[in-house]
Amino acid sequence: MSGVGNLLELACNGGKPVRETILPYGRQWLDEADIDAVVHVLRSAWLTTGPKVEEFEREFARLTGAGQAVALNSGTAALHAAVFAAGIGPGDEVILPPLTFAASANAVLYLGGRPVFADCLPDTLLLDPAQVERSITPRTKAVIAVDYAGQPCDYDALQFLANRYGVKLIADACHSLGGSYQGRQVGSLAELNAFSFHPVKTITTGEGGLVTAADGELAEKMRAFRNHGITTDFRQRSEAGSWLYEMVTLGFNYRLSDIACALGLSQLSRLPAMLARRREIAALYNEAFSANPAVTPLTQRPDRESGWHLYVVRLNTERLRVPRSLVFTALRAENIGVNVHYLPVYRHPYYQNLGYSNSLCPVAEAAYEEMLTLPLFPAMTDQDVNDVVRALEKVCAAYEK
């Protein structure tokens, strides 16, 4: 049995780890300009509902080629607002993939709808349009396409289905800012496109989210939704010299502050550089793993460009003597902060209690047993990348058959 001699070298067995300190799978990248932008707002008259919110929205819409942008206080709020704007209500079905953060499906539940899980393509783990079509029923009202790991879905195929069956297409673009599909920017690929600005995402506002839309009416609907269902905010009423406000729908306090939007604007100015570094790191990984039969990166389609939020590989378990869980533990002991994205949503206890089967999507379930997310963020050095590669090769060599 090969590899036995290497077992004692693993840090989980008492050997020396590849790194002295943990390398996280993702983290924010801030500079002095970001800090100065936030301090400037802190010294201004408006900390929330002020001019920076509109400025951030305009710049984001410009960069993504979208007609409108609506800032919210989290990616979850963005998804909730998008599903609300799509008109989802009690009993409506919304089709989405299972390999996503729970918020993608939770947003449907918030409005009384029912998530319907359609399987993924095995090479990209993106939503399979053929499985979407098989899942459509008379109660289907929308499809949420999740740009898993940063690569855009097949929006032409999905929009064709949306048009054919008269349903809304929503892009969960929380992973894919800066990506493109057939030369079109993420943010302009669906009727509604939701983004997240959590610290591990491409840009951050601390916490935050945003929805782009081509339709001005949908944007206004979401602006009221983020503000308790009220059609004007405090600054608008101040400028108009009015105290009167009207609540026209049941909304939430999902506003994003000027403090956060100032940070977002500063981060947007560095988006090209941050994307370039993410792509450099992905290219280094691709080259390093091209000759490793135990590791298979996700396929990248030639007609699109990824935002590279995550770098996900699948382990070839036929070449290893141990399951993914032990490879994960061994890499963490080497101080490589690997992660797993994601447990299929319907396998969470809450969804099991709703009556979802534990085996709805065979492709997603097989992928879940094999996948690992490796560290990828723009502040990583080439040495950090080398550490990840060395650690994965070390662990695979020790556990190879």
* Active-site annotation, residues: 201
- Residue identified by tokens 């939430």 is 252
Contact between residue 264 and residue 203 where contact means Cβ atoms under 8 Å apart: yes
User: Other C-beta atoms within 10 Å of 312: how many?
Assistant: 24
- Would you call 90 exposed, middle or buried from its count of C-beta atoms within 10 A (0-12, 13-18, 19+)? exposed
Quote the strand ranges of 28-127, DSSP E. Answer: 68-72, 93-96, 114-117
In whole angstroms, give the CA distance from residue 214 to residue 217.
9
Distances (CA, A) of 370 to 122, 349, 363, 365: 12, 21, 11, 9
In whole angstroms, give the CA distance from residue 154 to residue 124.
11
Distances (CA, A) of 308 to 114, 261, 336, 368, 375: 30, 23, 19, 19, 11
Contact between residue 373 and residue 295 where contact means Cβ atoms under 8 Å apart: no
In whole angstroms, give the CA distance from residue 258 to residue 103.
25
Quote the strand ranges of 291-343, DSSP E. Answer: 295-297, 304-305, 311-315
- Residue identified by tokens 């997240």 is 196
Distances (CA, A) of 134 to 91, 95, 129, 205, 384: 19, 10, 9, 39, 44
With CA atoms as reference, report the closest residue to 329 among 338, 321, 320. Answer: 338
